[in-house]
Structure 1
Amino acid sequence: MASNWFDRLRTGLGMEVEEPEPAEVGNQTLLSQLDEATTLTRTQRAVGFALCAGLGLLLSFLAPLFVLRPVKFAMVYTLGNLLAIGSSLFLAGPSKQWANMWHSKRRLATLLYLVSIFGTLASALALHSALLCILFIVLQTCALLWYCLSYIPYGHAMVMRFAGRHFDEAGGQW
C-alpha cells in the first residue's frame, strides 16, 4: 500500500524510475555514481521529501515577515525555494532530476531559475543591494512558476492564453 502511493506520486510528477543497466565502474558518470551512493529505501525517500518540502514551504511562507529587510527576505525565500525544489531529489534521484530539469520544455526556466538564485544570493551576501534582491526574487518566482507549469499538461498555453486575453481587454496595455 505504501509503495503504491509513492509510485503514483512519482509517476504523477513525471519521475518514473527507470532501472539502470549495469555499467562498468569506469564508464559511470558522476550523476550515476551519486545515484548509487545515495540509495535510500522508500520510507527514507518519503521522509526526506516531506522534510525538505515542508521546511522549504515553511521558509517561503515565513519570508514575508522580513519584507522590510529585503536582504534577509531574499535569503530566507531563496533557501525555502531551494529546499522545496531539492525535495524532488528524494523522489527522482539526482540524475533523473537533473535530466528532468534540462528537458527542452524546462531548459529556459531552469537556466533563469539558477541564474536568479545565484543573483539573489550574490546581491544579498556580497552586494547588500535591496533593489537587486527584489529584482532577482521576482525573476526567481517567475522562473519557478514557469518551471512548475511545465509539469502540468498545457500549463504554459493556459497561462499565455489568460495573459493574452487580459492584455487585449486592457486595450493593449497592462
Structure 2
Amino acid sequence: MQRLFQGEDEEQQDYLLEDAEVLCSLSPLQRVYAFAACLLAGLVCMFLSLIVFANPIKFALLFTFGNLMAIGSTAFLIGSTQQLRMMFDPVRVYATAIYIGCVIVALVCALLIHSKILTLIAIICEICALFWYSLSYIPFARRMVSDLTVRLFDTEI
C-alpha cells in the first residue's frame, strides 16, 4: 500500500516540476529583462537605504533586501539551482559563507541591537564579501587584486 502512495507522490512531483517549468519558461530576452529589472530594483533599494541611514532598521532592511535582489537577479540568467550550486563551489564557498554571515550580522545589529556603528561595520563587511564573491567569476581577478593589495600596502621597500 505504501508503494502505491509513493508512486503517486513521485507522479505528482513530476507533474509539479513540469508545471513549474512551463510557468518559469522564459525566452532568453525575457530572462535578460527580468535580470536587469531585478538588478535595478536591488540597486534602487540599496541607494534608498542610504537615504534612511539614520534609522538603522529601515537601512538594514532596505540595504540587505536590495543586496539579495541584486544577487538573486543572476538566477534569471542561469537558474536558481545553478546559482546555488555555483555559490557553494569550493572557489566561492568562503566568500558566500562570509557574505551570508554579514547579512545576518547586519540584520541582527540593526533589528535587535539597534547599533548604527555595528550595522555600518557589518554592511561594509557585507560589501567587501560581495565584492570578493563577484571577483570569483572573473578569471584570475582575485589573484590580481591580492597582488595589487600586497604591492600597495606592503611595507617592505
Q: Normalized against structure 1, the TM-score is what? A: 0.71
Give 2:6's aligned residue: none
| Unmatched segments (≥5 aa) in structure 1 | 1-24
Residue 166 of structure 1, CA deviation = 1.1
Deviations 1:113-158 (A, max 9, x none): 1111111122222332223211211111111000000011111111
Higher helix share: 2
The 4+ residue runs of structure 1 with deviation greater than 3 A are 33-38, 67-71
**Post-superposition CA distance 1:27-84 (Å, at most 9, x none):** xx9xxx5974763212442332121101011122233223333443222211111110
Residue 3 of structure 1 corresponds to none
Higher Cα radius of gyration: 2
Q: In structure 1, which of residues 140, 144, 151 is the aligned counterpart of residue 137 of structure 2?
A: 151
The equivalent residue for 1:40 is 25
Matched, 1:137 2:110: no
Task: Give the aligned partner of residue 108 of structure 1.
Answer: 94
> Does the CA-based 8 Å contact 2:56-2:114 persist in structure 1?
no
Question: Within 2, Cα distance between the matches of 1:46 and 1:38?
Answer: 17
TM-score, length of structure 2 as denominator length: 0.78
Match of 1:57 in 2: 43
Instruction: Quote the sequence identity (%).
Output: 38
Q: Which amino acid in the other structure matches residue 91 of structure 2?
A: K
| Separation (CA, whole Å) in 2 of partners of 1:132 and 1:155 | 30
Q: What root-mean-square deviation, in Å, do the aligned CA atoms of Structure 1 and Structure 2 show?
A: 2.4
Change in CA separation of 1:38 and 1:91 when aligned onto 2, cut-off 3 Å: farther
